[in-house]
Structure 1
Amino acid sequence: MLPRPYLRALTACYLRSKQLILTGNRRAQILLLPVDPLTYEKLWLWERNLPQHNLDLPFPEGKTGRYVKFSNQAHRLGWNNVFNEILMNNHLAYASKRAYVFPTFMWSLSHYPWPPSQRAEQPFTPLNALTAGPAAGGPWDEGDNAPRAIHESWFETVCPVEERRIINTTEVKPYIRAAEGDTIFSHWQKLLLDAPERCIEIVPDLYEHDNFPQVFDLWLWGSTRIISLWDSFSKSPTSRLLETSPIVESAVARNKYLFLPRGPRPPHPAPRDPFQRMLAMHIRRGDYKKSCEGLASFGSTFYSWNLLPFLPDVFTPLEEGHPDRIQRAMEHCSPGIDAILKKVREARSDYLHASQGGQQTLDVLYILTNEHDEWLDNLKEILRKDGWETIVTSHELELDAEQIDVSMAVDMDMARRAAVFIGNGWSSFTSNIVHRRLVDGKKPITIRLY
């Protein structure tokens, strides 16, 4: 039985790890303790009271402002499938001189961290718990007169139904469905710029006609056609001003000490910041194997910004009917321990060779993973034998209830900061990390794909 003060402390938060380091370095194996999912009352209120939610503001905001709501946006999917679309829609709204209407994140129930008995029928999380910046209602650059994004609830006030122009995607998409990304963007931009109506709502076609009815849909994100948008998108204020949410920032700060090197002091000067000594790698297993099998069978390319041609690692699927088509793709999408070890060695060697004549230090390893079983223990043991003294996984982070709710964004921010990142080329999670690393100025050699 744990002492009562510890029990009170444990019930105050929902811990991801089954191991908690207690005062005096005591360790206690604990079961995950149930608490109610988050209410976010203060954050909901903060979003509701954003300064742009004011009818009396002068143009380009207020009751004379111009707005666009993408009611065809993806929802009830994983965070990253939703996130890349939010960012691109905000970029389009900005280029169209309209205020973007940002959504509340609607969870896919299979991804929600609380069990069915402890969640609402449909869980929600405020967008500003997950990210920050103009796409979530934050300010633009000083002197930029662009209208700020508004929450979808305020859209009901500033753009009553009778004042909206409704555009069904069936009116637009059939004519540009297979076009390059920049052509698709320009077509929608002209439509939104030229439309005289103050308020526009874009709604999806029937699912039977278009099962991916988004403006920037999966067929675009999963093809090289998206690459034509990189230059404008990566330099846009949507990307430049994208920030980490305060909740995520607090989780990173709280766990930074875990990455302080445990091994012998290196023979040359090394950065004090552990992220500058870190290789982070994304290993998704379990539920992802089935997705990999489907992607391999379909002959899919990498996803989104993982396709950027200047990145060191590329993948070209073998032609349909080739006997090794599925096996070759699975080796990259769902790599085994030997393949992971080979990529870690390659990424470390290439980075050290390219960095100041090999005088950098790379001795901290962070594994972003949903794997829990002995497979992960075996991988960690092999990596330790290969010279990695400090190895931390997602499961060892200490997170409070809010931080657990946004833990995927916490992992992403760790990987954004790391000196080197290895990701999965088919993953939207990896793609959004690639985006932020490149916008931050990280060199392509620090971004590797299995």
Structure 2
Amino acid sequence: MPSVDWRWPKQHRPRWKFRRGQTCGFLVFLLLAFLFLATHPTTRTRVPIFNLPRGPTYFLLRQRIAWLPQHNLNLPPPEGKNGRYVKFSTEVSFLGWNNCLNERLMNAHLAYTSNRAYVFNDYWWANQHYQFPPAPEGGASTPFPALLGGPVVGEAWTPTTGNASAVSPYHQHPRSISKRWWEKVCPPARRRIFNLAVLKHTIPGGGRDAPGPAIFEFWQRLLSDAPESCVEVINDESVPGAEHDDFPQVFDLGFWGSRRLLDLWAEFAASPVSRLLHPSRIVESAIEKNLDAGVFVGAGRGFGGGRPIVSPSKRNPFERMLAVHLRRGDYIEHCAWMCSWGAGHYGWAQLDFLPDVANRRLPASDDPQREEKALKMCLPGAEDLVWRAAEVKREWEASRNEAETLESVYLLTNESGPFLEELVVALYAAGWKTIATTQDLRLNMEQTDVSVAVDMEIARRAAVFVGNGWSSFTSNVIHQRLASGKEPMSVRLL
């Protein structure tokens, strides 16, 4: 049997030949299609296409980080080839964002006071917090500058508001650099190593349990006095003189959960690391998008309880907003565990000048009903929340003039079930004009990835914030509110 030629007849073969302009157009189309898939608004259960990453790629942001002006070997000291740098390789990862953030901000302040450039890295997600599960093997990360802005992520020591042309008093300090640039400017042969496992227990006044100022001054002296350009803090328990540490950080979990940090507040709050901290471009864009959509004034709302549909308002919705941190999910068990052994408040929620701390809202340790009362604060029911919101509103308005009333509630929450619907209905019944929640936000993929920072910025802007005193999220919101000029009376606790 003769063989059959299955090829197209020559005269009918398709011609796949492109002219130069057509080829360029086709390549541009492919690039735009890729960027569309990488950044298009998405649900949290997005299915990857062509094995693309589930979360955003941050291609353009990573390029901006690589092109930071301080990433230049030819700059004069304290930057460039002979600049002064410090990398804290002991920083915790794979925990909640705010457990990581408070440590990084304090490390950046320590680097600043030591006249060294802080080395920032990606934030590595705990798998249970990653917005696009499952997390890839090895973990998922987000560039630090996607979550916040300021000198801590390499921006200039220059205010972003006010007289931007004025010379900043901090401009002579070296700017933060990325981990990738650290590997170039500070190769291993140039690094001076400080081993946390050997040094931490030698801190005067109590070792790892020393007062906050003693810990800070110990490390500041080491970093300032070291003549080497490149200093790295590591934790190696295999060498002589090392001690095991369950929390091997310079400012560890025990530090943040104790009152030992409070004596550092005044200096830390006044530091340009705190004062120049601001939302990232991605967070700002999320706020603007939801302002334009009227989310904060109830536009387009429709689920449960007969919520009204309100036209977007031109005035600032934050000036009459009560933001409430309603942490549930993992806190349903976590609160019970913490309250059962008498855990106190965390981080900056312990500041003595905050009204609920000064008035001893948290029951004393010898109160026989402490556990029950504390659990009601850490994990309040719907009725408790409605009552607390009304109480805070009443006390705030009593201290203001009539023009500064609270009208809306924004619930910063990881709750999305029937409990949330019940609470929203109850708040409307109590007289609040508008209720919005984290679940109502309209976010694209990058904004979804950093939605925790979006919520924090809403909480920072709100007229009054009611936080959960056991939460690192609340602690960092308190820091950002006070550092940006909000008064203590506007910071309350559940």
TM-score, normalised with respect to structure 1: 0.89
The one-letter code matched in structure 1 to 2:421 is D
Q: How many residues align?
A: 420
Secondary structure, counterpart of 1:214 in structure 2: coil
Correspondence for 2:15: none
**RMSD of the TM alignment (CA)?**
2.2
Tell me whether 1:290 sits opposite 2:307 in the alignment.
no
Identity of matched residues, %? 48
Indicate which of 41, 45, 51 corresponds to 1:13.
Answer: 41
Indicate which of 122, 126, 136 corresponds to 2:153.
Answer: 136
Shift of 1:259: 1.7
Superposition pairs of residues 165-180 of structure 1, within 5 angstroms: 165-174=192-201, 175=203, 176-180=207-211
Correspondence for 1:301: 344
Give the distance between the partners of 1:115 and 1:196, measured in 2 at CA.
Answer: 45
Indicate which of 221, 226, 230 corresponds to 1:199.
Answer: 230
Correspondence for 1:337: 382
* Equivalent pair of 2:125/2:140 in contact (CA under 8 Å): yes
* Equivalent pair of 2:150/2:156 in contact (CA under 8 Å): yes
Correspondence for 1:19: none
Give the distance between the partners of 1:259 and 1:77, measured in 2 at CA.
Answer: 30
Give the distance between the partners of 1:66 and 1:340, measured in 2 at CA.
Answer: 50
Superposition pairs of residues 143-162 of structure 1, within 5 angstroms: 143=169, 144-162=171-189
* Equivalent pair of 1:367/1:393 in contact (CA under 8 Å): yes
Shift of 1:59: 0.5
Correspondence for 1:74: 92
Unaligned runs of 5+ in 2: 1-35, 49-53, 159-167, 300-306
The one-letter code matched in structure 1 to 2:47 is P
Secondary structure, counterpart of 1:128 in structure 2: helix
Shift of 1:328: 2.5
Tell me whether 1:407 sits opposite 2:451 in the alignment.
yes
Correspondence for 2:426: 382
Correspondence for 1:25: none
* Equivalent pair of 1:365/1:390 in contact (CA under 8 Å): yes
Secondary structure, counterpart of 1:62 in structure 2: coil
1:188-231 residue CA offsets vs partner (Å, 9 max, x unmatched): 10111111222111012449811111101111111111110100
* Equivalent pair of 1:350/1:445 in contact (CA under 8 Å): no
Correspondence for 2:143: 126
The one-letter code matched in structure 1 to 2:489 is I
Give the distance between the partners of 2:363 and 2:396, measured in 1 at CA.
Answer: 27
Give the distance between the partners of 2:436 and 2:319, measured in 1 at CA.
Answer: 15
Indicate which of 27, 49, 69 corresponds to 1:51.
Answer: 69
Unaligned runs of 5+ in 1: 1-7, 17-31, 265-269
Secondary structure, counterpart of 1:110 in structure 2: helix
Secondary structure, counterpart of 1:239 in structure 2: helix
The one-letter code matched in structure 2 to 1:194 is D
Indicate which of 240, 250, 254 corresponds to 1:215.
Answer: 250
Shift of 1:313: 1.2
Indicate which of 83, 86, 102 corresponds to 2:101.
Answer: 83
* Greater C-alpha Rg: 2
Give the distance between the partners of 1:261 and 1:362, measured in 2 at CA.
Answer: 15
The one-letter code matched in structure 2 to 1:340 is L
Q: Which has the higher contact order (CA 8 A, sep 6+)?
A: 1
1:367-387 residue CA offsets vs partner (Å, 9 max, x unmatched): 111111111111111110100
The one-letter code matched in structure 1 to 2:323 is A
1:96-154 residue CA offsets vs partner (Å, 9 max, x unmatched): 011101111111111001121x7454111111100110000111133520000000111
The one-letter code matched in structure 1 to 2:286 is A
The one-letter code matched in structure 2 to 1:375 is F
Correspondence for 1:443: 487
The one-letter code matched in structure 1 to 2:481 is R
Correspondence for 2:51: none
Correspondence for 1:99: 117
* Equivalent pair of 1:137/1:150 in contact (CA under 8 Å): yes
Correspondence for 1:23: none
The one-letter code matched in structure 1 to 2:395 is D
* Equivalent pair of 1:15/1:399 in contact (CA under 8 Å): no
Secondary structure, counterpart of 1:69 in structure 2: strand
* Equivalent pair of 1:170/1:205 in contact (CA under 8 Å): yes
* Equivalent pair of 2:46/2:132 in contact (CA under 8 Å): no
TM-score, normalised with respect to structure 2: 0.81
Give the distance between the partners of 1:360 and 1:340, measured in 2 at CA.
Answer: 22
* Equivalent pair of 1:297/1:325 in contact (CA under 8 Å): no
Give the distance between the partners of 1:206 and 1:352, measured in 2 at CA.
Answer: 55
The one-letter code matched in structure 1 to 2:259 is T
Superposition pairs of residues 307-322 of structure 1, within 5 angstroms: 307-314=350-357, 315-316=361-362, 318-319=364-365
Correspondence for 1:371: 415
